[in-house]
Structure 1
């Protein structure tokens, strides 16, 4: 008798959902994706794609600001009334690109035979999902395996409630039609730093409120120091060790009260207070799916939950909140369930990037872990100031940092601070993933002159006779 076709039901249409759906369909499963807010999820519709599209305009303004050094006379300052950003057009483009990307995903899923159902999904035990449509009508879909990829949402607090007009979460900024005259960003993690950097380049006055002693407390300290120095040099007000007590609005003025009694007033405020998982009312307890104290679904390295046949991927697991990790968790889940070759998720091979100006890209073991004695390494830091291409492009800030193991010389981590660091980290990511030595990384040809030449040069400096 022929083997019955495996039935896979995926709750959530973000990267963890649609990528796992594509893998399951490729391996012959009957796949249904239950989508609530649009294919691509927050990564495509309200987070990664929109924010990086906005940042693309900010990058251009950063280049314009440095044009004079390269011999281009614009006859004005980049942030003056003569060279300015039409935020309504920028945000219209942002929304269109997000919509187009979502449509592309829908076409790909349809081509691969993945069935998409619009509605809210909820577990009915570990082997069925109940989908409630817009009219409140429920439909039960039986499943041999369920993947939960419901994502996360911006965290808010009672003392700082967004109104969608002047007090905003990062999902609400794309409805702005005019550039804020003074933007206050609360939170100096990745999201806060990216929006603060972007709006500064777009021409707004920006104040960044950080409860920690520096911006990007979770990133490489040397990289964060470079970024903070650049941002303050460009005119940003950074309030370190300043905790928000409340955010209120009076007319067109937003007031951020700090716990030490100070206040900051502006025209708009972006709240970047972290994320909370979308795991409520999913039927997790009934199905036997465990969650942690913060509400994130507990998974192992092949994306299994505590309930047999139920997997989870993406931000709802809290493993590492990156679209690339969500997609990989989803793929791993389907490879595992459907019996294909699979390797457990290895976070030490994940490359990530902070899209500020300059960008900060990292992979592998971190400086913090090295300093804590968790791993012994040899390290080198090479400033970009000596790179010929950097001089040509007017790039003064940034560096390449590499870590390798003593004895073997195997590359185990790296940091790049530079324009387009998200591209420059790739050779380091390959070295880490494939356990290449610093010598092997150094001996690959690079173009001269190029920024990537600094990656090879840093590797050469780790050579030991």
Structure 2
């Protein structure tokens, strides 16, 4: 075998790439990893972590308000964006340094530079050096999609810039209907910003259970977020310190900030994939098989750059499975069929398994169990917000196919429900489980009445 500089060269220091590098090094491979920005990737730098910190901040207003119903008297309260931003930056720096430190502790060579594919078995660094490797892993993640070619598009920011705002706007227009759009709409509304969400479809969160979609839209509207559905931007013009936004339907809006959150795309531009015969799809995603192997021998890809299931834990699982398969003498495939996910709106929602609509499309005959109620906390605080819990059950086998929750701590509840679904739990198993009372989660094991649609 021809000698190479490394056994494995990883391009991208996000969750998937870092996990793969660490595990491969643990198997004795000589590993290098190149990252042109900061270690941690989208999740740590401009995704999951800073977003969740902003979500926490946006919910304290509710806490202060609800406290009065429980006898607390709160004095004057105020919010300082600069303090939140500085503390967020400090935490991100800490986590990024942990990522880098963990790599070095495993003996991985870290290169703080851009790297691109330079033919079979080689990468080129930004300083011109050419490095060879027996195996190359691409883990460059994704980037925000831009709104499109409309007049004034340069005025529109993405989620990347939203994390770095110097000050809060008084009004914001959020464009999109996926995770990022509804989460940022909730964050800004919770921080007191007059928030409008515009989406080209009739509902947000395409692909989620319809009951969840409807209940979330109702809750967002109750929280003062203006929902403009079946609409799109056709132009943005600056008007002093604000913007005039023209709409496809002929109307217009005035706002102080326009945020595009219409999705993300694989970060493959300029990676030199064509030099090694790495094939990509219509959106630029790297095409891989079930073992993350690309169309080029010796080149693999994991995470959002492959556009399979674009979630951090999935990228980590894919990176680990790759290292096990290639360097650990264990052929491991990742099962993408039972992945829990959460949307950190307020109220938050979480889901695992099949939606009612997807289950019916697959031919299942279903029993549906639903509970809609005000949590005990809300009855005393006076908050009108209601919780939704739903189980999708195959009538013939009694197996629970999907679990869907909207309300406080939905993500924490569904994480544990995901274990049950992974084990193939039946509705009878849920019924036989003793309820933990009083809790909202107990509804999952006390629901007995099948839902019957109105005729």
TM-score (structure 2 length as normaliser)? 0.91
Aligned counterpart, 1:127: 121
Give the counterpart of 1:106 among 100, 111, 122. Answer: 100
The alignment of Structure 1 onto Structure 2 pairs a total of residues equal to 446
Q: Deviations over 1:353-384 (max 9, x none)?
A: 10001111011112221243443433211224
Aligned 1:161-200 pairs, distance under 5 A: 167-200=156-189
Measured in 2, the distance between the counterparts of 1:64 and 1:362 equals 29
Give the counterpart of 1:208 among 191, 197, 217. Answer: 197
Q: CA deviation at 1:269?
A: 1.4
Q: CA deviation at 1:174?
A: 2.5
126 and 329 in structure 1: CA distance in 2 versus 1, 3 angstrom threshold: farther
Q: Give the conservation status (yes or no) of the 8 Å contact 1:86–1:178.
A: no
340 and 403 in structure 1: CA distance in 2 versus 1, 3 angstrom threshold: farther
Measured in 1, the distance between the counterparts of 2:28 and 2:339 equals 28
Aligned counterpart, 1:286: 275
Measured in 1, the distance between the counterparts of 2:395 and 2:56 equals 40
1:37 aligns to 2:37 (yes or no): yes
1:217 aligns to 2:211 (yes or no): no
Q: Give the conservation status (yes or no) of the 8 Å contact 1:13–1:33.
A: yes
Aligned 1:50-449 pairs, distance under 5 A: 50-74=50-74, 82-132=76-126, 137-156=127-146, 157-159=148-150, 167-385=156-374, 388=376, 391=379, 396-449=385-438
Measured in 1, the distance between the counterparts of 2:432 and 2:32 equals 48
Measured in 2, the distance between the counterparts of 1:448 and 1:395 equals 22
Name the SS of the counterpart of 1:85 in structure 2.
Answer: coil
Name the SS of the counterpart of 2:120 in structure 1.
Answer: coil
Q: CA deviation at 1:271?
A: 1.0
Name the SS of the counterpart of 2:397 in structure 1.
Answer: coil
Q: Give the conservation status (yes or no) of the 8 Å contact 1:211–1:244.
A: no
Measured in 1, the distance between the counterparts of 2:328 and 2:367 equals 40
374 and 117 in structure 1: CA distance in 2 versus 1, 3 angstrom threshold: farther
Measured in 2, the distance between the counterparts of 1:376 and 1:122 equals 50
Q: Give the conservation status (yes or no) of the 8 Å contact 1:84–1:203.
A: no
Query: Which blocks of at least 5 consecutive residues in structure 1 are unaligned?
Result: 76-81
Aligned counterpart, 2:453: none
98 and 28 in structure 1: CA distance in 2 versus 1, 3 angstrom threshold: same
Aligned alpha-carbon RMSD (Å): 2.4
Q: CA deviation at 1:433?
A: 1.6
Measured in 1, the distance between the counterparts of 2:304 and 2:312 equals 8
259 and 71 in structure 1: CA distance in 2 versus 1, 3 angstrom threshold: same
Measured in 1, the distance between the counterparts of 2:377 and 2:144 equals 39
Name the SS of the counterpart of 2:280 in structure 1.
Answer: coil
262 and 13 in structure 1: CA distance in 2 versus 1, 3 angstrom threshold: same
Measured in 2, the distance between the counterparts of 1:27 and 1:412 equals 37
Q: Deviations over 1:417-456 (max 9, x none)?
A: 1112111101211012222223334434453212221222
TM-score (structure 1 length as normaliser)? 0.90
Measured in 1, the distance between the counterparts of 2:363 and 2:332 equals 24
Q: CA deviation at 1:389?
A: 6.2
Name the SS of the counterpart of 2:324 in structure 1.
Answer: helix
